[in-house]
Amino acid sequence: MARTYRDIKADILGRITRGDWKPGSLLPGEIELAETYGVARATVNRAMRELTEDGIIERKRKSGTRVRLSPLRQARFDIPIVRHEVTEQGAAYRYALVSSTVGPAPDWLRARMGLQTGDEVRHLTCLHMADGQPYQYEDRWISLALLPQARVEDFAATAPTEWLIAQIPYSEVDISLSATAADEGLAAHLACRPGEPLLQIERSTRWDGKAVTFVQLVHRPGHRMTTRY
C-alpha cells in the first residue's frame, strides 16, 4: 500500500525521537528521502512542511534541513470570545454593561493607541459572568475616529468584542499577558480580595495601520490559560 505523507511524517518523527537524527543534525534532502521511502517528492515535501510548522525541523534555503535544537519554541493559545469560552465549560453565560462614556482619549491611551490630541473614544466597562459568578472584567476603548458608529451603538445587549468582529473582520493585533493585583474596583467587580493576583490580557487592535480598540481583560482569581502540543 502506498505510504502517505502522514506515514513519512511519523517515520521522520520517530527517527528524531529515537535519536537517529539528533538535534542540530542535517536531514537527507527531499529527493533522497523520496527515493528511500519510495514515494513522490511532493509527499516528502508535505511531511517536511508539517514538521517545520510543528517546530520539529527547520529548513534553510542554502544549508538544508536540520533537526531543531530547541523544538519547543512556540505555544499557541486559543483566545476565544468569552461567551464561547464560558459556554464550552458548560456554564451559563451572562453579559452586563457596567459603564459607558464618550470623550477625548486620556493621554496614556493616546500614547498607547497612537491617537491624535482631541480624538474621541467610546469607553466601556463590562462584566462577563459564568453561572452567575464574575468570570472576566473588560475595560474597553474604541476609537471614534475609525469607528464613528460606536458613538451611538447600544452595548447593553451586545458585548463589544462581538460587535467589533462584525465591523472589522480582520486586523493586526498586539497581545500582552501579565499578572496584576486586584485594586478596590476590580476586587468589587470580580468578587475577590484587593491585592489578589489576576491574569490580565491586554490587546491592541489596528486596522490598516490605524488604532481600532484597546482592551484590558482581567480574569477571576485562579484563571488559567492552557494549551497542549
Applying CB under 8 A, which residues contact a copy of itself?
13, 16-17, 19, 22-23, 53, 56, 67, 69-81, 84, 165-166, 168-181, 195-200, 207-208, 222-229
- Residue nearer to a copy of itself on the CB measure, 108 or 170: 170
DSSP code at position 190? H
212: β partners = none
Residue placing its CB nearer to a copy of itself in the complex, 103 or 222: 222
CB 126 within 8 A of CB 142: no
- Whichever of 13 and 97 has its CB closer to a copy of itself, that residue is 13
Please state the closest distance from residue 174 (CB atom) to a copy of itself, in A: 5
From CA 119, how far away is CA 115, in angstroms rounded?
A: 6
Q: Which residue lies nearer to a copy of itself by CB, 29 or 197?
A: 197
CB of 221 to a copy of itself, least distance (A): 8
Q: Which C-beta is closer to a copy of itself: that of 103 or that of 195?
A: 195
Amino acid at 136: Q
131 three-class SS: coil
CB 96, min distance to a copy of itself, A:
21
Residue 20 phi/psi, 5-degree rounding, is -60, -40
Q: Which three cell numbers stand for residue 55?
A: 517546530
| Helix/strand/coil for 199 | strand
Shortest gap between Cβ of 13 and a copy of itself (angstroms)?
7
Instruction: Judge whether 122 and 150 are in contact, CB under 8 Å.
Output: yes
Q: Which three cell numbers stand for residue 101?
A: 462614556
Residue at 35: amino acid letter: E
Q: Which amino acid is at 227?
A: T
Minimum distance from CB of 118 to a copy of itself (Å)?
27
Is 33 or 212 the residue whose CB approaches a copy of itself more closely?
212
Smallest gap from Cβ 52 to a copy of itself, in A, equals: 12
